[in-house]
Amino acid sequence: MKVPLLDLTAQYAGLKSQIMPAVEAVLDSQMVCNGPAVRQFESQIASYCGSKHGVGVSSGTDALLCALMALGIGPGDEVIIPPFTFFATAGVVWRVGAKPVFVDIQPDTFNIDPDLIAPALTPRTKAIIPVHLFGQTADMDEIMGIAASHDLYVVEDAAQSIGSAYKGHRACSIGTVGCLSFYPTKNLGACGDAGMCITGDDEIAAKLERTRNHGQGGTYMHETVGGNFRMDTVQAAILSVKLAVLDDWHEGRRRNAAIYDEKLAGLDGIILPHVRRDNYMIYNQYTIRVKNSRRDALKKFLADNEIASGVYYPLSLHQQECFASLGYRQGDFPVSEMAAAEVLSLPITGEISPQQIEFVAQKVREFAS
């Protein structure tokens, strides 16, 4: 039985009859950059996240970059981030000329450890970027408390966590700015790249709007230097169609996760995802830890049985060659390094049937026995 990690073809087939008219409407209008469908989608997503403003941009990476630029973060500043995340989280800090300061993660959620943030602060610290990894929000009460005490911005990297919630508050509604990715592999995926910044602050929303369009405050009048981060209208039209069924897709992933939780419980050397009591987890990934240096062997065993899996991420960011000048060494962030050596993500999307999930679980048990 073949089990893909992601089946976008099946997802598209179920919505093709709704997506194509939405795309054709954009093409007929020829308002293809930042058109009316973008404004509609911005409003929908802001409401969905429980916030006031949505500012559509060209990708999740550009959402983070646009946020840092709009907040005035640049050379001489420091930004606290976890080292176990997708590269963009650190890359955007570097690109604005600021310094990424890494803080290790929690071993159960893979999210930044709030207890380690305060010791990493300096007078140059301007922001914290908590990453809501794999579909679960970070411990935001603690993070927001630290930020308030030190007058710091909080930029939520919710690229993998649209619809997740912390104590009833959805991701992107808690920090100064929330950043979303609509890359095709996300729970809400575009037909290509797209992203969005979310904020409840009117002034920051206005800065984000200017920043995404070269800093324009009026036609060819530039108050600041921004970037070309505009969202293509066709992406907004497609995403609006998909948003209507997003919560159903979340529940499909949660259903499959529950099967894994039941079928994989108690396996020696396999640690299952831990969901904090106050979190609503949307499972962008179902990520297990494989102990005793057996992760790669399990990955190969699954591949031999036509089951796809993924490693997110194989190298902690402080060990990336491009950040060597920061002076970090192996052993500086042991939990992140352990995660990079042990994590394996199993198929989880709602398009994958319960029977396929049970087959994956059967093969994992076979390997572990």
| Model confidence pLDDT, tens digit, residues 234-292 | 999 999 999 999 999 999 999 999 999 999 999 999 999 999 999 999 999 999 999 99
pLDDT at 331: 97
On whether both 158 and 284 belong to a single domain, the answer is no
Q: Name 54's bridge partners.
A: 198
Rg (C-alpha) for the chain, rounded Å, is 20
Q: How confident is the model at residue 230 (pLDDT cuts 50, 70, 90)?
A: very high
Say if residue 295 is in the same domain as residue 219. Answer: no
Q: Please report whether residue 341 resides in a domain.
A: yes
Distances (CA, A) of 309 to 303, 337, 360: 8, 20, 10
| Claim to verify: residue 170 and residue 254 sit in the same structural domain | no
Q: Among 188, 211, 243, give the residue marking a domain's end.
A: 243
Q: Indicate the pTM of the whole model.
A: 0.97
- Are 92 and 117 a contacting pair, CB within 8 Å? no
* pLDDT above 90: residue 303: yes
**Half-sphere exposure at residue 98, Cβ-oriented, CA atoms within 13 angstroms:** 27
In eight-state DSSP terms, residue 175 is S
Rounded CA separation 269/330 (Å): 24
In a domain, 142, yes or no: yes
Answer yes or no: do 283 and 309 share one domain: yes
Among candidate residues 243, 264, 298, the one where a domain is terminated: 243
CATH code of residue 325:
3.90.1150.10
Report if residue 285 sits inside a domain: yes
Judgement on whether residues 213 and 312 belong to the same structural domain of the protein: no
- Does one domain contain both 326 and 294? yes
pLDDT per position as a tens digit, 304-345: 999 999 999 999 999 999 999 999 999 999 999 999 999 999
Together in a domain, 232 and 256: no
Distance between CA 143 and CA 28 in Å, rounded?
A: 47
23 falls within a domain: yes
Q: What is the pLDDT of residue 124?
A: 98
pLDDT (0 to 100) of residue 92: 98
Could you tell me if residue 267 is inside a domain? Answer: yes
For helices 295-304 and 354-368, angle between their N-to-C axes, nearest 10 degrees: 130
The reply to whether 196 and 257 lie within a common domain is no
* Strand blocks (E) in the chain: 53-57, 78-81, 99-102, 125-128, 153-157, 165-166, 169-170, 177-181, 195-199, 216-218, 221-222, 270-271, 279-280, 286-290, 343-346
Question: Six-digit token pair at 205?
Answer: 């929303």
| Whole-number percent of the chain with pLDDT over 70 | 100
Q: Is the pLDDT of residue 218 over 90?
A: no
Q: Are residues 79 and 14 located together in one domain of the fold?
A: yes
Q: Is residue 1 part of a domain?
A: no
Identify the CATH number of the domain in which residue 235 sits: 3.40.640.10
Residue 233 shares a structural domain with residue 252: no
Are residue 191 and residue 51 in the same domain, yes or no?
A: yes
Structurally, the chain folds into a number of domains equal to 2
Angle at 298 between CA 250 and CA 271, to 5 degrees: 55
Categorize the per-residue pLDDT at 125 as very low, low, confident or very high, splitting at 50, 70 and 90.
very high
The answer to the question of residue 3 being in a domain is: no
In the predicted model, what is the mean pLDDT of residues 96-108? 98
Q: What's the confidence (pLDDT) of residue 189?
A: 98
Query: What DSSP designation does 3 have?
Result: B
The verdict on 168 and 316 lying in the same domain is no
For residue 139, count other CB atoms closer than 10 A to its CB. 21
| Residue with token string 């919710």 | 158
The whole-number pLDDT of residue 346 equals 98
Residue where a domain terminates, one of 243, 267, 282: 243
CA 278 to CA 135: how far, in whole Å?
Answer: 13
Average pLDDT, the chain: 97
Percent of the chain with pLDDT over 90: 98
Cα 262–Cα 267–Cα 268 angle in degrees, nearest 5: 165
Q: For 356, how many CA atoms within 13 A lie in the half-sphere containing its CB?
A: 21
Domain holding 81, by residue range, is 8-103+111-243
Q: What is the pLDDT of residue 342?
A: 98
Tens of pLDDT, residue by residue over 1-32, are 999 999 999 999 999 999 999 999 999 999 99
